[in-house]
């Protein structure tokens, strides 16, 4: 089992993300969900759907690293994905449901990893060699950052 405190903390962030995200968007109208979190940025709706897209890719990348020797971890065009109809138009509740299930599965796997597993590597085509530990910690920060963006927008707009 994992003994590295930073990664254990990251797993807790991954576990709690669906609840924190749901709380961050609670009570927002469609108009508010379609507000960009910053000038030129994605809307809140796009951010919610992006988290599912990104974290589904994360789980697959982690499984590739666990089951293959130095696998290629292909990036995707996240800005283009955010412009697709499912990200621009669909009700966010569907992505919240997916995120809850995805994170339950993901955390179940992560809690059973060893320190040796965390040292396994993959070859990310944009970032180069990355360890599993680096991937996990990065995705934990990723979720935290997006929830922070939404909460900051709520505060700035007086939607609290």
Look at residue 114 and give its three-state secondary structure.
Answer: coil
Residues 101-114 have pLDDT tens digits of 999 999 999 999 99
Range of the domain at 84: 5-157
Question: CATH code at 136?
Answer: 1.20.120.450
Residues 6+ apart with CB under 8 A from 68: 122
Closest by CA to 47, choosing from 148, 130, 159, is 148
HSE of 94, CA atoms in CB hemisphere, 13 A: 11
Whole-structure pTM value = 0.95
Q: Please give the order of strands across the beta sheet that includes 128-131.
A: 72-73, 121-124, 128-131
Residues 31-82 have pLDDT tens digits of 999 999 999 999 999 999 999 999 999 999 999 999 999 999 999 999 999 9
β 128-131/72-73 pair status: unpaired
| Tally of structural domains, the chain | 1
């Amino acid at each position: 089992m994992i003994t590295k405190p930073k990664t254990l903390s990251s797993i807790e962030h991954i576990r709690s993300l669906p609840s924190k995200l749901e709380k961050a968007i609670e009570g927002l109208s469609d108009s508010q969900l379609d507000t960009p979190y910053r000038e030129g940025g994605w809307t809140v709706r796009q951010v919610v759907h992006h988290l599912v897209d990104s974290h589904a890719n994360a789980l697959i990348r982690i499984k590739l690293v666990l089951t293959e020797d130095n696998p290629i971890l292909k990036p995707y065009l996240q800005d283009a994905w955010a412009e697709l109809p499912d990200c621009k138009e669909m009700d966010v509740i569907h992505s919240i449901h997916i995120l809850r299930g995805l994170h339950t599965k993901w955390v179940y796997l992560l809690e059973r990893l060893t320190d040796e597993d965390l040292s396994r590597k993959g070859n990310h085509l944009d970032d180069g060699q990355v360890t599993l530990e680096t991937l996990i910690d990065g995705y934990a920060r990723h979720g935290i950052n997006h929830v922070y963006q939404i909460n900051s927008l709520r505060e700035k707009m007086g939607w609290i």
